[in-house]
Structure 1
Amino acid sequence: MVKNGQTSITDVAYRPELGAPIGMDVLDFTELRARGRRRGIDLGAPMRPAFHHLIHVRAGTLHHSVDFTDHELPAGSWIWIRPGQVHRYTPADLATARGTFVIWQPGFVAAEPPYDQSPLLPTGPHARAVQLALRHLTQEYADLASIPLDAHIEAVRHLLAVLLLRLAHAGPAPASPVLADDTFRRYHAAVERDFARTHRVADHAASLGYSVRTLTRATLAATGHTAKQHLDARILLEAKRLLVHTDASAAAVGTRLGFTDPGDFSKFFRKRDGRTPLEFRAMARGRGG
Structure 2
Amino acid sequence: MYTLSSKQSIPVYTSERNPEAGNKPFTIVRSEGALVYEEDLLIPHRKAYHLLVFVKHNPGRHWVDMTPYERRDNALYFTAPHQILVKEAPTPFWGTFLTLTDEFLGLEQNASLQDLPLIQNPQNRHELLLTEADAAFVEEMLIKLHTEYYRPGEWQHRMLTGYLTVLLTHLSRLYTEQFNGAETAADKLLLKAYQAKIEEGFREMHEVGQYAALLHISAGHLSEVVKTQSGQPAIKHIHARLVLEARRMLFYTQQSVKEIAFDLGFAEASYFNRFFKRETGHTPAEYRTTIRKMYQ
TM-score range, shorter chain: 0.7 to 0.9
CA spacing shift, 1:216–1:5, aligned 2, 3 Å: closer
Tell which deviates more after alignment, 155-164 or 248-257: 155-164
Matches within 5 A, 1:169-184: 169-171=173-175, 172=177, 174=180, 177-179=183-185, 181-184=188-191
Equivalent residue, structure 2, for 1:279: 286
Using a 3 Å threshold, how does the CA distance of structure 1 residues 30 and 232 change in structure 2: closer, same or farther?
farther
Measure the CA separation in 1 of the matches of 2:146 and 2:231: 37
Partner of 1:166: 170
RMSD between aligned residues: 2.8
Tell me, yes or no, if structure 1 residue 140 matches structure 2 residue 158.
no
Which residue is equivalent to 1:33? 35
Amino acid of the residue matched to residue 180 of structure 2?
Answer: P
Task: Return 204-213 or 268-277, whichever deviates more.
Answer: 204-213
Change (3 A) 1:4 1:232: closer
Task: After TM superposition, give the deviation of residue 247 of structure 1 in Å.
Answer: 1.9
**2:89 is matched by which residue type in structure 1?**
P
187-196 or 116-125: which moved more? 116-125
**Displacement of 1:237 after TM fit?**
1.0
Rounded to whole Å, the distance in 2 between the matches of 1:283 and 1:186 is 35
Quick check: 2:144–2:163 contact (8 Å CA) kept in 1? yes
Quote how far apart the aligned CAs of 1:65 are.
0.5
Partners in 2 of 1:51 and 1:240 — Cα distance? 22
Instruction: Tell me how far 1:226 sits from its aligned partner.
Output: 3.2
User: How far did 1:5 drift?
Assistant: 7.7
Match of 1:260? 267
Query: Contact 2:276 / 2:284 at 8 angstroms: preserved in 1?
Result: yes
Structure-2 residue corresponding to 1:241: 248
Residue in 2 that maps onto 1:105: 101
Equivalent residue number for residue 152 of structure 1: 156
1:211 alignment partner in structure 2: 218
SS of equivalent residue, structure 1 residue 286: helix
Contact 2:12 2:45 in 1 (8 A): yes
1:251 to 252, 258, 263: 258
Q: What secondary structure, in the 3-state scheme, does the structure 2 residue paired with 1:275 have?
A: coil
Residue in 1 that maps onto 2:108: none
Q: Deviations over 1:19-45 (max 9, x none)?
A: 6584111124568731345xxxx2111
Mark the CA change 1:115 to 1:266 in structure 2 (over 3 Å): closer, same or farther: same
CA 1:179–1:127 in 2, change beyond 3 Å: closer, same or farther? farther
Give the partner amino acid of 1:107. Answer: E
Change in 2 beyond 3 A, CA 1:31/1:140: farther
Query: Match for 1:122 among 130, 135, 142?
Result: 130
Per the normalisation by structure 1, the TM-score is 0.84
Cα gap change, 1:90/1:257 in structure 2, threshold over 3 Å: closer, same or farther?
same
> What does residue 55 of structure 1 align with?
53
Partner of 1:107, secondary structure, is helix
For residue 67 of structure 1, report the CA deviation from its aligned partner: 0.7
Stretches of structure 2 that go unaligned for 5 or more consecutive residues are 106-110
Runs of 5+ unmatched residues, structure 1: none
Whether contact under 8 Å (2:10, 2:44) holds in the other structure is yes
For residues 156 and 129 of structure 1, what CA distance do their matches in structure 2 show?
A: 16
Alpha-carbon separation, structure 2, partners of 1:228 and 1:78 = 34
